[in-house]
Amino acid sequence: MALEVRAERDGPTLHLVLSGEFDAFTASAVSDAIDPALRAPGLTGVVVDARELSFMDSAGISELLRIQRLLAEQGASIRMESTGPTVRRVLEITGLVDILGVQ
């Protein structure tokens, strides 16, 4: 299964919806889809909807951390919503629940 990425700007917030499998092969789909939007003026945060994310490994984590760093550099933040149990456990094990704003 591929990774489907949908990004939609709503005022100062960018909503990112991820569906499918987030691994080393598909991670570039995320950067391709949202990097221009991350540099747009007035952005204060990214909200990631991960409820349809069926798989994520450390390559997905690396991409999310890259986004978090870019946002932090411009005073913005990231928040992850609706993670499934395995994705959440990956984030817990790697100690990133707070850094990635996992709800």
Partner 1 sequence: MSVPGPTADASTVDGVVLVRPAGLSEMAGIRTTLRYWLSRHAISGERADQLLVVMSEIVTNAIEASPPQSSIVVSWSMDADEVHMSVEDPGPGFVYEETEPVGPAAVRGRGLTVVEAWTDRLSVTRRAEHTVVATWTRVEGTDR
* Binding-site ranges for partner 1 (CB under 8 A): 1-2, 21, 23-25, 55-59, 61-62, 65-66, 69, 85-86, 89-90, 93-96, 99
| Pairing verdict, β 13-22 and 77-81 | unpaired
Residue 61 · residue 36 · CB < 8 Å: no
Q: b vs e for 29-48, b when ≥16 Cβ sit within 10 Å of the residue's Cβ?
A: bbeebbeeebeeeebeebbb
- Our CB check for partner 1 shows the closer of 8 and 92 to be 92
To partner 1, the closest distance from the beta carbon of 36 in angstroms equals: 20
User: Least Å distance between CB 83 and partner 1?
Assistant: 12
Looking at the Cβ atoms of 9 and 51, the one nearer to partner 1 is: 51
Q: How far is residue 68's CA from residue 79's CA, in Å, rounded to a whole number? A: 9
Indicate the SS3 state at residue 74: coil
